[in-house]
Amino acid sequence: MFITVNGSEQKTDVKTVVQLHDLSFSDYDVTILNGYQISEDSELKDGDRIYFGKKNIFPDSKELDMLMSARHTPFIQDRMRNATVGIAGLGGLGSNVAAMLSRMGVGHLIIADFDTVEPTNLNRQNYYINSIGKRKTDATEDILHNINPFITITKHFIRITADNAADIFRECSIVCEAFDSPSEKAMLVNAILEKCPDTVVVAGSGMAGTDDSNLIRTEKKFKNLYICGDNTNGAKPGMGLMAPRVNICAGHMANAVVRILID
């Protein structure tokens, strides 16, 4: 039978994962079989993909890509690696979406925001105390490269308008809309769909307060527009934005990106 071990296809008569481990990888302490980390033995089958790794060793670019491929399954990682995704706005939604996509190994992220990190951002946005005062584009780049140092990040420290949105995100197959203002949300969606007709927009709407988590959902509105949120709970006095529902909505957006990329 033919199996793939640490990225290399090979013919083998070995019957089980443990036998393969003991034969050639006895000093490795992580075993991933077809995207799932295992601790018990398993019979090998034709077409299986196995990754043996070591704990506490910093991976190089090839090793990290191979590890992600092992965890995500290879065809998914191929799509992630070759994708260019835009994120418009790096607040509660955008900063968290960016972190999730960098963990997925999306090869090129184009991020845009005109603001700096300030203390009230820390209750829900993907920043830290030492981010305060930095441009959000710079702080996000630092954080993403601490997650995955091998992805490409293009930064735009600029206010996005109807006139420049298409130029900023023209390379992207998907753009995540992550603004606070309803009028700016509508502006970006309209600008991208009108000027970049092949680009998909994943937008957020409604994640404030402490209402039921299960009300947040992902809906395909039409061909190139997905909306994530509950479409009801917008931020207002008495209805603040907090980490749990904002992060749930950001997770919906990141998952929508992944599903679109692998469709």
The neighbour count for residue 231, using CB atoms within 10 Å, is 14
Give the helix/strand (H/E) hosting 200. strand 200-204
Task: Identify whether the C-beta of residue 215 lies closer than 8 Å to the C-beta of residue 209.
Answer: no
Q: Are residues 47 and 111 in the same domain?
A: no
239 and 113 within one domain: yes
Q: Who wins on pLDDT, 232 or 165?
A: 165
> At 35, which CATH number?
3.10.20.30
Check: CB of residue 65 under 8 Å from CB of residue 150: yes
Does 68 fall in a domain?
no
- The rounded mean pLDDT for the chain is 94
Boundaries of domain holding 38: 2-56
What is this structure's pTM?
A: 0.90
Q: Say how many domains are in the chain.
A: 2
DSSP letter, residue 82:
T
Same domain, 19 and 116: no
Residue 151 and residue 246 share a domain? yes
pLDDT in tens, 202-215: 999 999 999 999 99
For residue 110, the domain's CATH number is 3.40.50.720
pLDDT of residue 57: 85
Q: Which of 162, 97, 102, 148 is nearest to 125 (CA)?
A: 97
- Residues 144, 84, single domain; the answer is yes
Which tokens sit at 233? 């709970």
Same domain for 122 and 239, yes or no, is yes
Residue 16 included in any domain? yes
Instruction: Specify whether 102 is located in the same domain as 210.
Output: yes
How do residues 20-68 score in pLDDT, each as one tens digit? 999 999 999 999 999 889 999 999 999 999 999 998 888 888 888 888 8
Gap between the Cα atoms of 56 and 35, Å rounded: 20
Whether 73 maps to a domain, the answer reads no
Q: What would the pLDDT profile of 140-162 be if each residue is shown by its tens digit?
A: 999 999 999 999 999 999 999 99
